[in-house]
């Protein structure tokens, strides 16, 4: 049985209280069209348990819920001859752009000249070997104690 929360938008969609255009569903996950359709075919993959974001996942959760990403990605890609690529992304935390606090993975199909720009920047010029080493060591240390 899934752990759902009364006031959560995606729990309401999972319970069927809010309609959605579902493309795949089983006991563990539901995949449905994102209302915004950043590009046509934009799908959200959502665990049926109310996990807030990746920071709430155990390794078992990851295995259980994320295994559907490649299958879904390939099905979406095949669904429209124009699609030639896809951005698979998840916003974790408000500062990262997460608005709905129930974990979800965006699958956004891409086609040539679709006009979508995923923001990025290159700060390589600001980093030397010591700076890279410091950052990598901090993360490695954090992994050792987790």
Q: Which residues are catalytic?
A: 104
If the CB atoms of residues 12 and 64 are measured against ligand 5GP, the closer one turns out to be 12
Interacting residues toward Zn ion by CB under 5 A: 5, 8, 10-11, 50, 102
Q: Is 84 helix (H, G, I), strand (E, B) or coil?
A: coil
Minimum separation from the CB atom of position 61 to ligand 5GP (A): 18
User: Do the Cβ atoms of 33 and 20 come closer than 8 Å?
Assistant: yes
Sheet holding 43-47, edge to edge: 22-25, 29-33, 43-47, 105-110, 85-89
If the CB atoms of residues 6 and 124 are measured against ligand 5GP, the closer one turns out to be 6
85 binds, among Zn ion, ligand 5GP, none (CB under 5 to 8 A by kind): none
Cα–Cα distance, 90 to 34 (Å, whole number): 13
- Cβ-proximal residue to ligand 5GP, closest one: 36
Minimum separation from the CB atom of position 7 to ligand 5GP (A): 14
Minimum separation from the CB atom of position 19 to ligand 5GP (A): 8
Cα–Cα distance, 137 to 6 (Å, whole number): 42
């Amino acid at each position: 049985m899934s752990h759902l929360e009364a006031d959560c938008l995606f729990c309401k969609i999972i319970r069927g209280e809010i309609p959605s255009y579902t493309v795949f569903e089983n006991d563990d996950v539901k995949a449905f069209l994102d209302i915004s359709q950043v590009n046509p075919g934009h799908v959200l993959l959502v665990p049926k348990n109310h996990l807030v974001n990746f920071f709430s996942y155990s390794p078992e959760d990851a295995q259980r819920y994320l295994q559907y990403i490649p299958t879904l990605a390939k099905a979406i890609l095949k669904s429209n001859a124009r699609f030639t690529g896809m951005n698979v992304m998840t916003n974790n935390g408000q500062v990262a752009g997460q608005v709905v606090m129930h974990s979800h993975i965006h699958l956004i199909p891409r086609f040539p000249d679709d006009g979508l720009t995923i923001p990025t920047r290159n700060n390589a010029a600001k980093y030397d070997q010591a700076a890279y080493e410091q950052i990598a060591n901090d993360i490695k240390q954090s992994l050792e104690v987790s």
